[in-house]
Amino acid sequence: MTFFSTHTETAEATPCEAVAKARGQVYSGIGGQAVLEGMMMRNGKRYSVGVRKPDGSIEVMEDTYISMTDRFAICKAPFIRGIFSFIDSMVLGSKCLNYSATFIEDDPEDADQEPSKFEKWLDDTFGEKLEPVLSGIVMFFSFVVAIGLFVVFPAFIASFLKPMLPSEALLGLVEGIIRVILFVIYIKLVSRMPDIRRTFQYHGAEHKCINCVEHGLPLTVENVAASSKEHKRCGTSFIVYVMLISIMLFMVIRFDNIMLKLASRLVLIPVIAGISYEVLRIVGTHDNALTRILFIPGMWMQGLTTFEPDNSEIEVAIAAVEKVFDWREFEKKTFGLEFPENKTADSANDTLEPEFSEDNAENAVNSDDNVTSAREIKADEPDNVNANTDDMMISEPLPATGTEN
């Protein structure tokens, strides 16, 4: 995997790229999610949603979201925080999806139709609360369908193979393989839908933006396009870890009774999610031989859930990032690079060069004093880097029952 693909081997790298390569990837604390015709970006308690409107303009909103890990100290405990982080991702992701959906133009024929009696009853009963109520119902049924398809169904199919397998451990392995195959088929099928494919392109744009700033490059269309569309903290990797850890766990925890087996799968979902999140944290915040190996399965799966975005999609992603994240301040403190605040590069043909010298380059590469982690940047600074690594998961735009998360 390469993060700088626009230069040939003989091309001379810019000072900015040289420092980025020498320093490697530095955790920024930001994460996001693809939405309908746009992207959500989160930095601590702040989040933004950028959407490409039907008229071609970009709409960016900003709001705050207080996560459960911020509200309750117990939610930050290891192996527990992953469960609440996942719930937060689902809640915020659903909210952002609903917002982005408001920009989708309705069919003129549907707009002329009178609301049905059921629609009027819903509106009269719930009023302004209708949208969150419907979102909760959709989220619940999506979760039920996901459990049925990827937990219950594989166990049920594997039970028919029990007479042909010599051990329960092998049966657990086969069940896990069936689960992975179903997931891959599901992703391949939904990615053929035009709307989902564009969502996966925005998913790629989200990763590219984060990789761009975490490698010390100015956030321009050109640099974002040249960055990798895979990222170590992606929610796809989290799902992969869930499937792999469940295989190992269910090879050890075995029941002959099919009902007890299904019950154990359901009861252990929070445990598996908690372990998977801790693995994701380690892989996302460390760079060594072990974490690079652990990242490989997630990177392979991200090949299915991310597509190369076009420049118009990258522009939306950049707008969402800049609304809640001061990448200039981050790269100044982390890499020793300074970019004029009054200059921007909004198109693929523009360039943005840092105020940079060889002395600054050497200091940025070699001096730990000039490299600042996300935790060292004060949380009360405007447009700051997120100092809360418990909210590090990048939400995954995986379709569920016809919609996406």
pLDDT-derived band at 394 (thresholds 50, 70, 90) equals very low
Is residue 331 a part of any domain in this protein? yes
Least confident of 244-258, 349-363, 372-386: 372-386
b/e burial code for range 120-139 (CB count within 10 A of at least 16 → b): eeeeeeeeeeeeeeebeebb
Residue 218 and residue 216: Cα distance in Å, rounded? Answer: 7
The residues, any chain, with a CB within 8 Å of residue 394's CB and separated by 6 or more, are: 31, 32, 33, 206, 207, 210, 231, 233, 234, 235
Residue 153 and residue 148: Cα distance in Å, rounded? Answer: 6
Cα–Cα distances (Å) from 284 to 95, 166, 214, 281, in that order, read: 25, 38, 12, 5
Is residue 256 a part of any domain in this protein? yes
Q: What pLDDT is recorded for position 169?
A: 86
Q: What are phi and psi of 315, to 5 degrees?
A: -60, -40
Q: What pLDDT is recorded for position 385?
A: 38
Percent of the chain with pLDDT over 70: 75
Cα four-point dihedral sign 14, 3, 339, 374: negative
Pair 283, 232: CB distance under 8 Å: yes
Q: Domain span at residue 307?
A: 115-335
Q: What pLDDT is recorded for position 386?
A: 39
Least confident of 117-126, 141-150, 344-353: 344-353
Is residue 143 a part of any domain in this protein? yes
- 81 pLDDT exceeds 60? yes
Q: What pLDDT is recorded for position 110?
A: 53
Q: What pLDDT is recorded for position 242?
A: 93
Residue-wise pLDDT for 290-329, tens only, equals 999 999 999 999 999 999 999 999 999 999 999 999 999 9
pLDDT-derived band at 377 (thresholds 50, 70, 90) equals very low
User: Domain total for the chain?
Assistant: 1
Percent of the chain with pLDDT over 90: 47
Residue-wise pLDDT for 144-200, tens only, equals 898 889 888 998 898 888 888 888 888 889 999 999 999 999 999 999 999 999 999
pTM (2 d.p.): 0.78
b/e burial code for range 187-217 (CB count within 10 A of at least 16 → b): beebeeeeebebbbbbbbbbbbbbbbbbbbb
Least confident of 13-27, 56-70, 289-303: 13-27
Is residue 224 a part of any domain in this protein? yes
Q: What are phi and psi of 345, to 5 degrees?
A: -130, 100
Residue 117 and residue 122: Cα distance in Å, rounded? Answer: 9
- Selection from 216, 13, 373 nearest residue 5 by Cα: 13
Q: What pLDDT is recorded for position 18?
A: 54
- 35 pLDDT exceeds 80? yes
- 7 pLDDT exceeds 50? no
Residue-wise pLDDT for 193-252, tens only, equals 999 999 999 999 999 999 999 999 999 999 999 999 999 889 999 999 999 999 999 888
Is residue 268 a part of any domain in this protein? yes
Is residue 201 a part of any domain in this protein? yes
- 43 pLDDT exceeds 70? yes
- 5 pLDDT exceeds 50? no
- 389 pLDDT exceeds 70? no
Write out the two tokens for 68: 């459960």
Q: What pLDDT is recorded for position 61?
A: 96
Q: What pLDDT is recorded for position 350?
A: 47
Least confident of 81-85, 168-172, 183-187, 370-374: 370-374
Is residue 289 a part of any domain in this protein? yes
CB-count exposure of residue 369 (10 Å: 0-12, 13-18, 19+):
exposed
Cα four-point dihedral sign 174, 177, 182, 185: negative
* Mean pLDDT calculated for residue range 246-263: 86
Residue 304 and residue 191: Cα distance in Å, rounded? Answer: 8
pLDDT-derived band at 403 (thresholds 50, 70, 90) equals very low
Q: What pLDDT is recorded for position 253?
A: 85
Residue 392 and residue 389: Cα distance in Å, rounded? Answer: 5
pLDDT: which is higher, 25 or 276: 276
Is residue 246 a part of any domain in this protein? yes
- 275 pLDDT exceeds 50? yes
